[in-house]
Structure 1
Amino acid sequence: MPEPAFAVTPGWLPPHPSPSTPDFTVPPGAVDAHCHVFGPAERFPYAAGRKYTPADASKHDLFALRDRLGFTRNVIVQATCHGADNSALVDALRTAGHRARGVATVRPDVSDEELKDLHEAGVRGVRFNFVRRLVDAPPTDELAAVARRIAPLGWHAVVYFEAADLPHLEDFFASLPVPLVVDHMGRPDVSLPPGGLDFKRFLRFVEAGDVWVKVSCPERLSRTGPPAVDGERHAYRDVVPFARTVVERFGDRVLWGTDWPHPNLKSHMPDDGLLVDHIPHVAATTEQQRLLLVDNPLRLYWPEEAR
């Protein structure tokens, strides 16, 4: 039997086969502001220089999860395994219509026509990855060039980095002419206190600029993990103080997303229903929840509808 064209990375965890129905009901119009589609590889091949090869995760599966969890819309983020070929992303956006927006990956030599096509498909930002295990070198020069290209479109830049690298990046980030959206709270070390120097530095960075924060991916940050007792709905408790601090200080600049299908997780595959039940622990009031899940993503991705 011939080998498949794209053999999945050994140990790759597939999405949860049957996510639970959350106890928490998200507000009407809620947006899952960070999720992905992978492939299918036969139609949308993975990039030659990728650091991992995922299992296919289709737009149809994503939209089914959206409905199961009670969300209305998605923001679909281009993943590194597809490189700068945004075909799978654009296909998902066109299928979803007005119910999805996208964050693409583009290079500095992208044409004006390509940018126009991406905008018409629903793209409103670009993503750059600074996590060292996922990139060969920090893409500062590329991001600076791309930021100049996308500023006239009103787009933003999504940046993914680890807390230890912020001191080397924050001056560069502050120089960019577009708003920034930080993935997963800049990956703080949650074994340290939220009042520690590292997280205080991150909070000062957010406060000083046009910076938005995704209080997402507790499953990536947690040291305690999901609950050990069946039926326990309060998971990833060690992440809560960090996320709650961000929500309380920057309530009009926070976003939330599932990160489905949770690429590159090694320890466990989270139950997306459990992730939704994490939300009221970090956004405790109805007002905070509406800002996090509805008003803020509308302002950033559907500004024509924002209040």
Structure 2
Amino acid sequence: MKPCQGPDRATRKPAYVMPRNAVDTHAHVFGPAARFPFSPERSYTPEDCTLEQYVELLDTLGIDRGVIVHGGAHGTDNAATLDALDRLGGRIRAILVTPPGMPLAERQALHDRGVRGYRMSTVVSGGVGFDALEALADEAKQLGWHLLLHFHASSELVDVADRLRALPCDYVLDHLARIRADEGVDSPAFKTVLDLLATGRCWVKLASLYRLSSEPYPHRDMLPLIHAVMAARPDRMIWGTNWPHPIHVGPMPNDGDIVDLIPLWAPDPAMQHRMLVANPSRLYGFDF
């Protein structure tokens, strides 16, 4: 339950101008703890990072839409995430952390509120692990949802790849499946990513990549991995800020700087539009 540092709250307005209907596909809201207590089984304790603060961030960055990924500090109590979803209406979608077994009628009601999937993690405690993979995949398929897979290390992707190939629903590899720059494009994990992308059910989320780099900003050692996945499946790439950057060790990135990496990652405006607008709008059910 160690405390983790909060975000850089002096968000710099980026030089890069987001296209209309851009989607930040990865952010968390925490608390306020007085209203939404943290889980006693959590592995970290964040600062309050509220919906109002997230909306201010989106407005500063020029991002029209967002996706709240339920944060591990709240365990399987999704109240804070659902509250954010209800208050922002059509501007955001949500990914929940919940074990399998919820009745279809309840899941349909959540879909109508804007929920689009489940997250599983080997990183944080108190949530849902990969023992629930197949059961949650069956539930996700019923409503056209997807699974968000949060690995602690890239080797875990290799271990679970055969199970992923058999899933009946789409799934997203969170944070580029935690493949570090020093592993490279010839690593078993990256070759597994390319193989899974070829199935048509796999997506890759480009978020929190500063954690995977061995170099300071702008983390150019990540570019071979980024450009290779974009070349392989430009229709399966999505992007996110990872605000408020929970359990990050080291200098806290400014989200304006993160946005300004976009033209470095994707110099082609058409690819930028795919990654920021078309692809996430299709995955999360936004009009565009």
TM-score tier after normalising by the smaller chain length:
over 0.9
Rounded Cα–Cα distance in structure 2 between residues aligned with 1:9 and 1:128: 21
Match of 1:185 among 176, 187, 202: 176
Task: Compute the displacement of 1:64 (Å).
Answer: 0.5
TM-score normalised by the chain length of structure 2: 0.94
* Aligned match of 1:35: 27
Rounded Cα–Cα distance in structure 1 between residues aligned with 2:73 and 2:109: 22
* Aligned match of 1:173: 164
Match of 2:112 among 120, 132, 140: 120
The answer to whether structure 1 residue 99 and structure 2 residue 82 are counterparts is: no
Q: Deviations over 1:183-227 (max 9, x none)?
A: 01101121133244442232122223410111111221111133x
TM-score normalised by the chain length of structure 1: 0.88
Q: 1:122 to 1:87 in 2, by over 3 A?
A: same
The answer to whether structure 1 residue 129 and structure 2 residue 121 are counterparts is: yes
Amino acid at match of 1:27: P
Q: 1:75 to 1:111 in 2, by over 3 A?
A: same
* Aligned match of 1:5: none
Q: Deviations over 1:163-199 (max 9, x none)?
A: 1112210011122211001101101121133244442
Q: 1:14 to 1:253 in 2, by over 3 A?
A: same
* Aligned match of 1:229: none
The answer to whether structure 1 residue 194 and structure 2 residue 168 are counterparts is: no
Task: Compute the displacement of 1:243 (Å).
Answer: 1.1
Amino acid at match of 1:216: A
- Highest CA radius of gyration, 1 or 2? 1
Rounded Cα–Cα distance in structure 2 between residues aligned with 1:77 and 1:198: 24
* Aligned match of 1:156: 146
Seq. identity, %: 38
* Aligned match of 2:65: 73
Rounded Cα–Cα distance in structure 1 between residues aligned with 2:161 and 2:283: 22
Q: 1:195 to 1:141 in 2, by over 3 A?
A: closer
Q: Considering only aligned residues, what root-mean-square deviation do their CA atoms show, in Å?
A: 1.8
Match of 1:272 among 227, 230, 255: 255
Contact kept? 2:72, 2:127, Cα under 8 Å: no
* Aligned match of 1:230: none
The answer to whether structure 1 residue 247 and structure 2 residue 240 are counterparts is: no
SS at match of 2:2: coil
Rounded Cα–Cα distance in structure 2 between residues aligned with 1:137 and 1:46: 12
List alignment gaps of at least 5 residues for structure 1: 1-7, 227-234
Rounded Cα–Cα distance in structure 2 between residues aligned with 1:137 and 1:271: 28
* Aligned match of 1:19: 11
* Aligned match of 2:267: 284
Rounded Cα–Cα distance in structure 2 between residues aligned with 1:137 and 1:157: 14
List alignment gaps of at least 5 residues for structure 2: none
* Aligned match of 2:137: 147
